[in-house]
Amino acid sequence: MPSDHTYAELLDLNAWIRKNSDAFHWQCTARTVQESKLFPVNPYIAMSYLNAWYRYPSLFRTLEQTMTAEELGDRAREVSSASGIIQNGIIPQFYLGGRQILIDMGMLRPTDALDDVAYVLDFTKRLNLSYHRHHAHILPSDAGHRAQVLPERVVQVFHADAFGVKPGDRLHTAAGRFLAQLSQYAFLSHCECRLGINNSGPYKIGESGEMLVRDVVDLAEGDYPWLDGVAAEVAFNNYTMPVILKDTHFSIVDDWASFEATPSYSHDNVTAIGLYTSDYLSDGYVPVAMDNPATLADFLEHEREVLAKATSDLWNVMAGWTREQLVDSGLLVYYAVPKDLFHIAGIYDQSDWMLVEDRAQRFKPLMNDEYGRDLIAELVGYISLTSQQGNDYTMSKHSGAPGDMWSTIPYSVLADDEFTRGVGPIRSGSTSLPAKSSTWTTTEGRLTLDDANRRAAALRPLPAQEPYRFLDDRWIKDHPGDERAEELYRHTQRRSRLLAGKGAGLSGADIEVLRA
């Protein structure tokens, strides 16, 4: 019996699979080294893919009963959280990775779990289209490796309120040291992977300046149980630091929210900075210690000391973990990349994201360091698994290899080929890690999970409400005096030091006059 999916639908889904395949191969071979002296990175990556395969379909279907993928993308775009460029972009990659491993093992056919695959791919495509709505590409790689995610009204606030700095002054020095410590802590708290660090931009500032918006997320007591206690003094769960640089061009801000610059990024070229926090409860960005340069320097110096102690304490915790705990923590960080979508919708459940399902647990005995290393190398690097090979004439996009990373859906399901619909409901799971014991750190204080979910479910940010939701920068350009545009801009400006109440219609030159 033919599938009830249409030919047009499968054409679109297979094009999305191939886009993910090409983009992920370039990232994996050009932008990263997947190794660690502490964590079994490749085994935990492989395990995360398998956990995603079995659990994402049910979780996303439950999520869309509360909030659509499009609204989730719109909401995520307005704040910094663990639903950013890298997290949203790699959800389909991890899911397809689990599928490919099982196909290569002979445990799946490319026609299996057809409805699940179609749904997860459709969900992630809609999510990324919505999140990247401002620049109208689905991935930064489609925009020449630019990630200009934020609308003008948000960038204007960052531009206006950034404090000018010069090499050697107190704030300039404090910001550089803070960023260095913050990056080190975020890398460790995410089990030595980059998932806690996001960047967007570049955004043009004047004739020769560019702004990079630097986000670091999941820092305080929250979803990751291993941060309970060690992160008790970390002030905020997420930080956003807009940095304006002179004589620096960001040639790449990529699908993993990392960057390259010409000349190389140098803190000496930073001319202005700001600091904000935000999350699923904040309805926009909240300035942190932005009264004046001295208060911001005070905060950065103090918080750097807090983060340094938290880093040391976390090293001590992780040094006592068993190998299984090291694997579980890393795989859960990877697998849980969609988790903040559930925070946004107000339906986050710790057991959805901090457990390894029994069907995935079956594979753990295979995942010694050597097997995990070789599996991931073949899967995402060499593209050398048997299941990935095409015919003798095939040349893949970036490498010219005779195959592609992710297998497409055979069109034969539209005729008479056998297929199955899904993997079934989520089953029980377990973890070797200690259970969550503390509260959640939010912009509304430290909350129980029930309270955080209740507040998130009740929140209706103005930019996500009608009629403001669809007033994009293209519409603003054509309706500069419209009261709806004024209200939308005033809402974004309400916490701004220099722009509060200014409304729409300001140019970059106007911002520079206000800064002066």
Question: For residue range 295-348, what is the model confidence (pLDDT) as tens digits?
Answer: 999 999 999 999 999 999 999 999 999 999 999 999 999 999 999 999 999 999
pLDDT score, position 286: 98
420 and 476 housed in the same domain: no
Confidence of residue 356 (pLDDT cuts 50, 70, 90): very high
pLDDT score, position 400: 83
What's the pLDDT tens digit per position in 375-415?
Answer: 999 999 999 999 999 998 988 888 888 889 999 999 999 99
What is the distance between the alpha carbons of residues 188 and 384, in angstroms, rounded to a whole number? 31
Q: Evaluate whether residue 125 is within a structural domain.
A: yes
Sign of the four-CA dihedral 68, 202, 162, 236: positive
How many angstroms separate the first and last alpha carbons of the chain?
Answer: 71
The overall average pLDDT reported for the chain is 96
Residue 353 has pLDDT above 70, yes or no: yes
Burial degree of 44 (CB within 10 A; 0-12, 13-18, 19+): buried
Q: Evaluate whether residue 43 is within a structural domain.
A: yes
Q: Choose the final residue of a domain: 428, 453, 479.
A: 428
411 and 511 housed in the same domain: no
Q: Evaluate whether residue 470 is within a structural domain.
A: yes
Residues for the chain: how many in total? 516
400 and 504 housed in the same domain: no
What's the pLDDT tens digit per position in 7-21?
Answer: 999 999 999 999 999
16 and 121 housed in the same domain: yes
Domain count across the chain: 2
What is the distance between the alpha carbons of residues 192 and 165, in angstroms, rounded to a whole number? 31
88 and 34 housed in the same domain: yes
The set of residues, in sequence order, having a beta carbon less than 8 Å from that of 393 and lying 6+ positions away, is none
Q: Evaluate whether residue 512 is within a structural domain.
A: yes
408 and 475 housed in the same domain: no
24 and 124 housed in the same domain: yes
> 243-252 burial by CB neighbour count: b if 16+ within 10 A, else e?
bbbeebebeb
The pTM of this model reads 0.96
421 and 499 housed in the same domain: no
Query: Residue 114 is part of which domain span?
Result: 7-143+339-428
What's the pLDDT tens digit per position in 404-455?
Answer: 999 999 999 999 899 999 999 999 999 999 999 999 999 999 999 999 999 9
495 and 416 housed in the same domain: no
The alpha-helical segments, DSSP class H, found in 200-239 are: none
Q: Evaluate whether residue 408 is within a structural domain.
A: yes
pLDDT score, position 486: 96
Q: Choose the final residue of a domain: 413, 428, 443.
A: 428
The set of residues, in sequence order, having a beta carbon less than 8 Å from that of 142 and lying 6+ positions away, is none
For 301-319, give the DSSP string.
HHHHHHHHHHHHHHHHHHH
Q: Evaluate whether residue 100 is within a structural domain.
A: yes
The C-alpha torsion from 218 through 222 and 225 to 228, rounded to 10°, is 100
Question: What angle, rounded to 10 degrees, do the helices at 41-63 and 85-104 form?
Answer: 110
120 and 56 housed in the same domain: yes
Quick one: average pLDDT of 504-509?
A: 93
401 and 348 housed in the same domain: yes
What is the distance between the alpha carbons of residues 425 and 219, in angstroms, rounded to a whole number? 32
484 and 397 housed in the same domain: no
Q: Evaluate whether residue 516 is within a structural domain.
A: yes
Which amino acid, one-letter code, is at 237?
Answer: N
What is the distance between the alpha carbons of residues 455 and 446, in angstroms, rounded to a whole number? 12
Q: Evaluate whether residue 226 is within a structural domain.
A: no
